[in-house]
Structure 1
Amino acid sequence: MSISECLFTAVVLALVAVAVAAPSRPAYGYAPEPAYEEPAKYDFNYAVKDDYSGNDFGHQEARDGYDTQGAYYVLLPDGRLQKVAYTVNGDSGYVAEVSYEGEAQYPEYKPAYKPAPSYKPEPSYKPTPAYG
């Protein structure tokens, strides 16, 4: 066997080995859940108050391991402020306390826009007498 034949055979065997070792189809599914060494710990908050649109809401939460405490609030369309304070501690589940500030207001609806016709109607037709 010549050197070129040996080299050709070696390359073909190497390609066959790579093809056999490669997976025949891509792996689908979810990756295993990561294992964290430390329990979760975080703290966040945000607030939005926009007088033009009337939006007023916010949220605050702190977690340390399995103990979570937080609160959020929103200005309701009736003018009251709804507040929710909650805790989650291990297997006790979500425990919330809801409160309201202010009194609901339902003012009478008075549209501010009063459309006016943008055209001037033509005078009605008045026939002239015809004499024969």
Structure 2
Amino acid sequence: MKILRRAEMWYAAVGVGAIMAFAPMHAFALSSYNAVTITKLLMNQGGRGGSPGALIFFTPTTPADTEGCTTSGSGYAWIDWSSTVQPDGKAVYATVLAASMAGKKVNISVSGCANSGYYPFVSQITVIM
């Protein structure tokens, strides 16, 4: 393993900084429900007009998310199973299920709306230990 000298590390850091400064950035809205209790999980197989995924029911629902979905602030969040990015929706669902079974509270971050604008879309789950 090669050990970098201080100057080489500085040049590498400057190079990464330059790439980050000129790389296209994609901003998106993100809002969170913190320290919520999962009250119910609903799995949807898909087909017959439904989207494959899972619906999380939780409390408390305040403050409401800022996503502007039909059910924003109502205690619902959608996990999409069609994602191919890892961790995929099934891994996110497994995390939520494990937290629920262990009686742990979670933070749910949502970004955008799923199911034709109806449910806030889950983008991140944090299990509170």
Do the two structures share a fold, i.e. TM-score over 0.5?
A: no
- TM-score w.r.t. structure 2 length? 0.22
Q: Which has the larger radius of gyration?
A: 1
- TM-score w.r.t. structure 1 length? 0.22
Structure having greater relative contact order (Cα 8 Å, sep ≥ 6):
2
